Amino acid sequence: MQVAQRRLAEMRAILVCAVLSLLSLSHACPKECSCNSNTKAVDCRGRGLYDIPRRLHPDTQELYLQDNRIRGLGSMAFREIPLVRILDISNNSITTISPTALLGLRMLQRLSLAHNNLRELDKRLLGPIRSLSHLDLSHNSLWGLPGAMGDSLRNLSHLGLAHNRLTRLDRSLLEALTHLDSLALRSNPWRCDCQLIGLKLWLETYLFKGGVVDEVLCSQPEEMKDRDLQKIPYQLFHVCMTTSYHYLFANIHHLESERLLQSHTHGNHAHPSSHALHVPMAMGEGFGGGGGGGMAECETKQKPRPVNLRHAIATVIITGVVCGIVCLMMLAAAVYGCAYAAIMAKYQRELKKNEELAAAQGADHATADEKEPLENAIA
Whether 298 maps to a domain, the answer reads no
- Same domain flag for 180 and 323: no
Nearest alpha carbon to residue 281 among 241, 306, 243, 249: 249
Task: Say what the pLDDT of residue 19 is.
Answer: 39
| Domain count within the chain | 2
Whether 216 maps to a domain, the answer reads no
Q: What is the pTM of this model?
A: 0.60
Neighbour count for residue 267 (Cβ, 10 Å): 6
Q: State the DSSP string of 73-111.
A: E-TTTTTT-TT--EEE--SS---EE-TTTTTT-TT--EE
- Same domain flag for 183 and 331: no
- For residues 161 and 181, give the distance between their C-alpha atoms in angstroms, rounded to a whole number: 14
Beta strands in the chain (DSSP E): 34-36, 41-43, 62-64, 72-73, 86-88, 96-97, 110-112, 134-136, 158-160, 182-184, 190-191, 212-213, 218-220
Q: Model confidence over 325-366: pLDDT tens digits?
A: 988 889 888 888 888 888 888 888 888 888 888 888 777 666
Task: Say what the pLDDT of residue 342 is.
Answer: 85
Query: Which of 157, 187, 217 finishes a domain?
Result: 187
Whether 209 maps to a domain, the answer reads no
Which segments of 137-270 does DSSP mark as H helices, in order?
A: 171-175, 197-208, 238-243, 246-265
Task: Say what the pLDDT of residue 4 is.
Answer: 55
Give residue 156's identity as a one-letter amino acid code.
Answer: L
Residue span of the structural domain in which 39 resides: 27-187
Task: Say what the pLDDT of residue 367 is.
Answer: 65
Q: Is the peptide bond before 306 cis (omega within 30 degrees of 0)?
A: no
Whether 39 maps to a domain, the answer reads yes
Whether 71 maps to a domain, the answer reads yes
Task: Say what the pLDDT of residue 273 is.
Answer: 39
Whether 331 maps to a domain, the answer reads yes
Give residue 341's identity as a one-letter amino acid code.
Answer: A
Query: Which of 156, 187, 218 finishes a domain?
Result: 187
Task: Say what the pLDDT of residue 115 is.
Answer: 97
- Same domain flag for 179 and 320: no
Q: Give the contacts of 58 (CB within 8 A, at least 6 positions apart).
A: 27, 80, 81, 82, 83
Query: Which of 187, 219, 234 finishes a domain?
Result: 187
Whether 326 maps to a domain, the answer reads yes
CATH code, domain with 170: 3.80.10.10
Task: Say what the pLDDT of residue 314 is.
Answer: 75
Whether 334 maps to a domain, the answer reads yes
Task: Say what the pLDDT of residue 283 is.
Answer: 39
Task: Say what the pLDDT of residue 8 is.
Answer: 60
Task: Say what the pLDDT of residue 18 is.
Answer: 42
Q: Give the contacts of 86 (CB within 8 A, at least 6 positions apart).
A: 41, 61, 62, 63, 64, 109, 110
Give residue 185's identity as a one-letter amino acid code.
Answer: L
CA max distance for the chain: 191
CA distances from 82 to 49, 177, 241 (A): 21, 25, 51
DSSP character at residue 200: H
Q: Give the contacts of 26 (CB within 8 A, at least 6 positions apart).
A: 55
Assess contact for 70 and 94: CB atoms under 8 A: yes
* Residues in the chain where the model's pLDDT stays below 70: 1-27, 235-311, 364-379
Assess contact for 73 and 101: CB atoms under 8 A: yes
